[in-house]
Amino acid sequence: MEVIELFKRLLSFPSVTPDDAGSLEFIREYLKDYNALWFNKEGVKNLFLYKEFGEGEHLCFAGHVDVVPPGEGWRSDPFEPVERDGYIYARGAQDMKSGVAAFVQAVKEAKDFGGTLSILLTSDEEGEAKWGTKYALEELERMGMIPNYAIVAEPTCEERFGDAIKIGRRGSINGVIEKIGKQGHAAYPEKAINPIHKVAQVLPHMAGVDLDEGDEFFAPSKFVITDIRAGMEVTNVTPGKLKMMFNVRNNTKTSMRDIEAFVHKYFDGMNYSLKLSESAKPFVTDPNSKVVKVIDEAIEEVTGIKPKHSTAGGTSDARFLAEYGVKTIEFGVKNDTIHAPNERTSKEEVVGLCEVFKKVIERF
């Protein structure tokens, strides 16, 4: 089976999170000469395939087979891949069954490797991800099988295939502030404590403010207010409390403790509460590390493009690998139709991605 045929076969599985729809069993059978470990929990399936070629280092290709719901506006069945003008249309074409097909085929064709070659796949990346890659890595750590390096095949390219890899990701910290006031009649403001007026005084110092200066890898961490609500939608009652929600996509220079101190600086003396939650930690992989250098060379050889090193975008399962000290990068096809109707990627990109991964395996 060639990579395009494999790609189309994977796209035909209606694997909406967290249902793998049989795709993981298909991959296990396709790579039947690899050892298989299943880490399944709470309806989520995780498959780890590995082969020890030698005593050297462990390189893992990681990704997910689950996709978001197709939604409306499709020109064709989202789970029946259609080829038009050199593109293949289906849900998951970019995010990320193109990447999965490319590394599965590259690993299948691998004849020699200096150490251990593996694949880690989950059926829950697009959802809560609680029992996906995160859980599988906990089990792999218990077994002493955490890889040294990882390549996550998320779509990373911007304008042309080969123009960008991700060597890190920002973290994500969510916050909720509740400012308590004293409800009253709008005609007697002196008898009330209006939380809107209090918060309005500090908003110019907080909204959209950079919490650090960033660095060579990351943009500054920005305090982004996402929701403010108070009152009962009447004009003659001042509210008794105000709720403000915010998000910070933080780099490695700003932590939860820094954000807590920032909020307290402006809310000091007010009757307020703050709740913070961290859904992702930031990480960066040294550009001089082996995995970055090898994939840079492979991309340039296949595409003629020297990729830029990016940390932009949201989060991915790469964050879980990085927490274990795994030197992790991301590289995949162009990202311009993910999660949209008529998601597509070109056959040329899928073939090129597979060639890049083959060269990485050969040179590692």
- CA dihedral for 317, 319, 323, 329, sign (positive or negative): positive
Give the integer Cα–Cα distance in Å for 229 and 224.
15
Residue where the block lists tokens 């999660």: 339
Residue where the block lists tokens 């030698």: 54
DSSP element (H, E) containing 336 = none
Which of 132, 121, 108 lies closest to 51 in space, CA to CA?
108
Contact present, 38 and 89 (Cβ < 8 Å): no
Encoded amino acid at 98, one letter = S
Residue where the block lists tokens 């077994």: 143
Give the integer Cα–Cα distance in Å for 162 and 149.
20
DSSP designation for 254: -
Residue where the block lists tokens 């982004």: 224
The tokens for 119 are 């694949």
Contact present, 361 and 298 (Cβ < 8 Å): no
Per annotation, catalytic residue among 20, 66, 296, 317: 66
H and E: helices and strands count for the chain: 9, 19
Give the integer Cα–Cα distance in Å for 230 and 240.
8
Give the integer Cα–Cα distance in Å for 281 and 319.
7
Per annotation, catalytic residue among 19, 20, 95, 125: 125
Contact present, 59 and 163 (Cβ < 8 Å): no
Give the integer Cα–Cα distance in Å for 240 and 300.
60
Angle formed by the axes of helices 3-11 and 97-108, nearest 10°? 140
125 is catalytic: yes
66 is catalytic: yes
The tokens for 71 are 């939604």
Name the 3-class secondary structure at 40: coil
| Residues designated catalytic | 66, 125
